Amino acid sequence: MTDEELLALAAEYGFDCAAPLDATKLEVLEDVRDACKVNLCGQYNKTWACPPAFGDLEESRKMLKKYTRGLLVQSVQTLEDDYDWESIQALGERHGENFQRLLARIRELYPDCLALGSGGCKNCKTCTYPDSPCRFPDKMVYSMEGFGLFVTQVCRDCGIPYNHGRGTMTYSACFLLE
Ligand code: SF4
């Protein structure tokens, strides 16, 4: 698929902003990966899609090296104020649902695509980690930060902002295709 076709697909699946991604520019950073251990998101050591379930930084580098291009997608919401939790929650749900729908479509064309989201995989109420294998490996969404990717920089490199201004909230995620 061309970049233009991928952007059209992102819009069709409800994303507010999208950009082609040059996967050769992705940089894995120790500091980002280390920040996961602080566990601010509560997902560290909780799912197959977050550290330490998958390998160390070297493993992340090896996995990312397989890809040369991708698609960055964002969902953006205007908030009534900083405490507009209802809109933030609705945004998270909309983003997750659209991402899964687009992932299913993209997998038809790129079966080996790598799905990376902000935060851990939220597909199941309770993850099977660490007792049994992932229930839905095709739907698993790895954490961008868990891979050591500085999401702000990834957005910048793609030419779109990480944050769309005061009074808004943005969720970012990406697909690495080939
Ligand atoms: S799909 Fe379910 S079992 Fe697999 S990593 Fe995500 S939450 Fe865990």
In the chain, what's the furthest Cα-to-Cα distance?
A: 43
What one-character DSSP code corresponds to residue 60? H
pTM: 0.94
Asked whether 47 lines ligand 1 (CB < 6 A), one says: yes
Asked whether 37 lines ligand 1 (CB < 6 A), one says: no
The values of phi and psi at residue 9, to 5°, are -65, -40
Residue 142 · residue 117 · CB < 8 Å? yes
Q: In angstroms, what is the span from residue 176 Cα to ligand 1's centroid?
A: 19
Q: In this structure, what is the dihedral angle of CA atoms 162, 155, 1, 141, given to the nearest 10 degrees?
A: -70
Protein residue with its CA nearest to atom 4 in ligand 1: 134
Residue-wise pLDDT tens digits, 82-138: 899 999 999 999 999 999 999 999 999 999 999 999 878 989 999 999 999 999 999
Name residues whose C-beta falls within 8 Å of residue 85's C-beta, 6 or more positions apart in sequence.
none
- Ligand 1: atom nearest CA of 127 is 8
Residue-wise pLDDT tens digits, 32-71: 999 998 988 889 999 999 999 988 899 999 999 999 999 9
Asked whether 127 lines ligand 1 (CB < 6 A), one says: yes
Q: In angstroms, what is the span from residue 134 Cα to ligand 1's centroid?
A: 5
